Each structure stands twice: as C-alpha cells, then as structure tokens.
Structure 1
C-alpha cells in the first residue's frame, strides 16, 4: 500500500528518485517494473494535473478492466486511447530512480519540483503548481459530488 506525499526534484534527465520507504516493496511486488500514464480524472484549472504510476501487476488489472469494456462505447474508446495509448513502461534502477518519458513530462508540465502521492495501489505524480492549486481547490471548495453514493464512512 502506497500512502503519503513526497516532494521530489526531477534531475536534468527527467528522472525521479522513488522515496526509500517504497523501494523494497516495489522490488518485491513488481521487480522494479512500473507503468506511467496520464491521469484521466484530475485536471486543475483546465490543465493536465497529474500522471499515474502503477506497479506492473496493478497495471495489468487496469488493462484487464479496460479491455472488458464495450468496444462501441465512446468513453471506453477514450480510455483505451488515452490511458492505454499513453502508457509507458519504466524500470526503477538500482538507485531507485525512474525516468519519466519526455512526452508525459511535457503533458503534465513537469520540469523540476513534483509531488509523489500514494494512492494505495498506485501513485499520482503532480507538478508542484498543479498540486498546490488542486490542494487549495479541495481545501477551499464545497464540492461533495458523489459523497452520498459512498454511503456512511467512518474513520
């Protein structure tokens, strides 16, 4: 399970260093094999907000789910084109570094400072400005769309 927020700097080659606390788990669960793709549900002020980073076994579940969607459904087609089409294989090196493809870095406007956000079975990768804006939006907003559908939640 991946949880917490880590502030990370991309190096000049576009690599991020996975925080030490996650490295052993990533070696065990996916032998350093990860998939990075665009996030379809997180935008901030109309701009791309983040990327998704999956350990390979978790990504294979996503692929299986998307593959099972109806072939003549427009939203399913969008998911296949956008999420699957932009997916890139990434391997974490022995120093815990991961090269983000240039195309995806450009898409999410990632140049130096980023945030790695644990999301249980995957990570979100945000550029600093988008994360800050989205965090302010969440903190200052009153958006509770879908809350009732979740039913009673106790923490």
Structure 2
C-alpha cells in the first residue's frame, strides 16, 4: 500500500505564488498514483491541504454532517457545502512542475515564503514552518504513546502467527 509521508522544506515564489516540488516529493506522488488534478483547500487548524481529486471527492461527500441515524443534517449542509466547496481550488501542476497557491488561500493559511510540506497518507499538508514545529512539539507525547501502542500490537500479531 503506497502512501504519502515525510517533511519537505520548500519556498513559495513571492512574485508568482508558485511552489516547485522537490524531486523526491514528485516521485512519491507519482509512485502512489496521485497524479493529475488536485484540490487545494483549507483544512483543520488553518492548514493548507492538497488532495488528489478522487480522494477529495470521497472525503467531501463522506464527511457531510449526519444524524445518529446516518442521514445528512439539513441545518448544517449549507454551511458544510459553502466551506468545503468554497475553500477548495481545483488545480494541477504546470509543465515546470509548479503549483499555484492563490493569494487568498495563502493568506488564510498564514503562509510566508518558507513552507513545510508534510505527507499525510492520502494528501499533502502545507504548513508555516514555525506552526508545524509548534504542532509537532505539542503532539510528540501523543505520537510516542500511539507509536508504542502500534508497535505492541504489531509484535503481538507477529507472535500469534508464529505460535
């Protein structure tokens, strides 16, 4: 199973609002089959997210607010649609492998020239470096606990197969 991972330092060209992905990140996108059309949108905590088209379509329709019975909540659907479709920008990499980050969405995500692109399974997140470091530091204890639990579960599964 292929997925996106890692942290990559990049720069946004201040004049063109474009970012050129590094070779290893382009290769990872290609290796995972995430090529073609993308959606650039504001995610949780104001982070800029880049979703492959199929992933975004699945995410946006599966994520609609629902009642406990699984029906779409009428009173929340208008706001959900406005925010998810309104914030989303359909985009593709140009022939030079650059991605345009529109000024409005760049401003909302509080991005300067320096950025960190983070691979998060099925999408990329684009962070301000200081915000990313603060978040990573804050979440390190949670990560350590989750990582330990995952290692234990994998070890127990391996033991059960070998017995």
- TM range, normalised to the smaller chain? 0.7 to 0.9
Equivalent residue, structure 2, for 1:81:
82
Q: Is the 8 A contact 1:35 1:59 kept in 2?
A: yes
Residue 64 in structure 1 maps to residue 61 in structure 2? yes
Secondary structure of the structure 1 residue equivalent to 2:150: coil
Tell me what 1:32 maps to: 36
Structure 2 SS opposite 1:110: coil
Specify whether residues 2 and 30 from structure 1 end up closer, same or farther in structure 2 by C-alpha distance, changes over 3 A only.
closer
Aligned position for 2:135 = 134
More strand by share: 1
Q: Which segments of 5 or more consecutive residues in structure 2 lack a partner in the other structure?
A: 67-71, 155-163
State how far apart, in whole Å, the 1-side matches of 2:64 and 2:137 are: 35
Task: Provide TM-score, normalisation by structure 1.
Answer: 0.75
Deviation at 1:67, TM superposition (A): 5.2
Bigger helix fraction? 2
- What RMSD, in angstroms, separates the aligned Cα atoms of the two structures? 2.6
Q: Which has the larger radius of gyration?
A: 2
Q: CA deviation at 1:86?
A: 0.3
8 Å contact from structure 1 (residues 26, 32) kept in 2? no
Aligned pair partner of 1:51 in 29, 48, 65 = 48
For residue 101 of structure 1, report the CA deviation from its aligned partner: 1.3
Partner of 1:15: 18
* Paired residues of 1:39 and 1:83 also in contact (CA < 8 A): no
- 1:98-146 per-residue CA deviation (whole Å, 9 max, x = no partner) reads 001111100011120101000111011101221122122223xx568xx
- The more displaced of 22-31 and 54-63 is 22-31
1:113 aligns with 2:114: yes
Partner SS for 1:153: helix
**Contact 2:50–2:124 (Cα < 8 Å) also in 1:** yes
**Segment drifting more, 106-115 vs 63-72:** 63-72
Aligned residues: 139
Partners in 1 of 2:65 and 2:134 — Cα distance? Answer: 35
Q: Which residue in the other structure is 2:69 paired with?
A: none
